[in-house]
Amino acid sequence: MSLNKREKMLITLLLVVGIGVLYINYLIFPLYDQLMANRQTLSQRQAVLDELQQLSIGDNLANEETRVDELVSQMDEQIPNDTMLPLLYLDILKLVQDSGSVLEGVDFNVPSKEDDPGYEGLFLNNIQFRINLMGDYGSLDRFIGSVYENTRKMDVVWISYERSEDSLRSNVNLKAYAFLRDGENFTSYTDYEFIEGKPFGRPDPFTTGGQAQQTEPDDEEE
């Protein structure tokens, strides 16, 4: 049976449509489904990545805050917001002891303002003080070196000395620093005896060799 031209065109059209449907069903739709699945997976991974980045930023901020706190703590140790004369005095005793010198006297001056703008209403003040030492050249040299290695910042202003037999008596003028409010010389009372690790155990720090005689009070008879 022969087909006329119209029937041939219809059959050809049906074949094209059928092939197109098969192509869409078995190739286009699977590719589309895979594309949508990939987009969903990518979206989920992007959300996880964004969350991780936020956590990373939070960790970085926490680490940066910790680092800043450490720097502030170090700065407070070097130049505190208080004169802290008892602790400064203990530093001097330790430096003198380590140098092998003998401390004969200490004289602190009233704090005076430095040419520094300071911060938050606080101004940099210097605390000049003079100490009298007895020793030799080596002990004096060790003491001066240890001043600049001390945690709290101190500077040597001038030194004078004279020989006494085989010893060297020296006067050393130093200055330490503190941030104080305008017009403030010394800050409020602090009970330093409760500061951990800062003993005040020497009854007489000016005794030669650091050996002070202690007297025991007599027992009271009832």
Separation of CA 13 from chain center: 82
Does the pLDDT value for residue 201 go beyond 60? no
pLDDT of residue 199 exceeding 60, the answer is no
Following CA atoms 210, 92, 184, 195 in sequence, which dihedral angle do they give, to the nearest 10 degrees? -70
Average pLDDT for residues 190-204, to the nearest whole number? 51
Per-chain mean pLDDT for the chain: 75
| Helix/strand/coil (H/E/C) assignment for every residue in 144-213 | HHHHCCCCCCEEEEEEEEEEECCEEEEEEEEEEEEEEECCCCCCCCCCHHHCCCCCCCCCCCCCHHHCCC
Q: Which pLDDT tens digit goes with each residue over 129-186?
A: 999 999 998 999 999 999 999 889 899 999 998 887 788 999 999 999 888 876 665 5
Q: Is 84 left (phi over 0), alpha (psi -120 to 50) or beta?
A: left
Q: Which CATH architecture has domain 85-204?
A: 2-Layer Sandwich (3.30)
For the chain, the structural domain boundaries read 1-78, 85-204
pTM of the complete model: 0.53
pLDDT over 70 at 219, yes or no: no
pLDDT, average across residues 102-114: 87
Q: Residue 11: its pLDDT value, please?
A: 72
pLDDT for 221 equals 44
Asked whether 175 and 155 are in contact (CB, 8 A), the reply is: yes
> pLDDT higher for 171 or 23?
171
CA distances from 160 to 68, 128, 131, 169, 170 (A): 41, 16, 11, 9, 6
